[in-house]
Structure 1
């Protein structure tokens, strides 16, 4: 994917940009992450993070060659997305897992779709073969978003997580990024 691309927000019709994140974006990325921790089952953590945590996360992603994209309108971060290793074993090197998070007031406006498309495009350019998404089964919006871009459900694991005093089910979706009959690396 090019370093920067524009898109129209579906509800507000404002011009927004998808670009690689920069350190200056990290406080807003942290705020979006912490909202998801506090208020949703999108992230199965109970503890909010500080800026030092997001700086280490960002440095790790950059150091390992993984993208961190942000959707921005001016200087406002509307959402962010990244992908990384699905599993740490060599045999999984062609498979990545995505993460897409959108500011609560921007959800349902096309931001998540634009960010996920940027991840898919980038993973294809990097020669990845499969992208996986692990989504809490009740997060229908995220599941539908992934399905719109061609992801299909491949597994459902009951009660493998917990948050807010209840068990959570995990749905795995995947998208094959290319049609190679055999791995090239």
Structure 2
């Protein structure tokens, strides 16, 4: 992908497209622990949590078309964990494997000092090889492994916690 991406704080009007992109990943049962598509209404509380300036949700666009989104969430709800945020990146199926993730991560990394974040973590199913390779390529280390913690109905998934200090 040669064209630069644009990042904007998500607006409530973006939520239907954010949900649609997220729902594309559910059927594979290797990306997210949701087993059924979610609705915009179900995601409204999640969206509201990302109105906190310290835990933003950005849309990723190119030529005014949303390709995906990225969010920073609380790693854990207690005060001592505030310097650590969980990153989530999701892209429309037509925009994957084109360098969007790397450009997006680079953008997020440039925001971390202002957001007072010194650690990023990502929870990734071990079976999700593309995401595992993405985080390895971007110098994240495997900080944890949780065996068979997600019952996907037809199979169990392990979860790896990938982390990077800044």
Give me the TM-score of the superposition, normalised by structure 2. Answer: 0.90
Q: Among 43, 60, 70, which residue is 1:81 paired with?
A: 70
Larger Rg: 1
Asked if structure 2 preserves the Cα contact closer than 8 Å seen for 1:18 and 1:114, the reply is no
Q: CA deviation at 1:117?
A: 2.2
User: How many aligned positions are there?
Assistant: 166
Q: Among 93, 96, 101, which residue is 1:112 paired with?
A: 101
Q: CA deviation at 1:80?
A: 0.5
Question: Aligned runs of 1:65-80 on 2, under 5 Å?
Answer: 65-80=54-69
Q: Among 41, 59, 62, which residue is 1:52 paired with?
A: 41
Give me the TM-score of the superposition, normalised by structure 1. Answer: 0.81
Q: CA deviation at 1:174?
A: 0.6
Distance 2:18 2:105 in 1: 16
Q: CA deviation at 1:15?
A: 4.2
Unaligned segments of structure 1, at least 5 residues: 1-8, 178-185
Asked if structure 2 preserves the Cα contact closer than 8 Å seen for 1:82 and 1:119, the reply is no
Q: CA deviation at 1:44?
A: 0.3
Change (3 A) 1:120 1:40: farther
Q: Are 2:158 and 1:169 aligned?
A: yes
- CA deviation map 1:9-34 (0-9, x unaligned): 2xxx3443222222232221110111
Q: Are 2:38 and 1:42 aligned?
A: no
Distance 2:112 2:3 in 1: 27
Q: Pairwise CA RMSD of aligned residues?
A: 1.7
SS at match of 2:68: strand
Deviates more, 1:55-64 or 1:31-40: 55-64
Unaligned segments of structure 2, at least 5 residues: none
Asked if structure 2 preserves the Cα contact closer than 8 Å seen for 1:68 and 1:80, the reply is yes
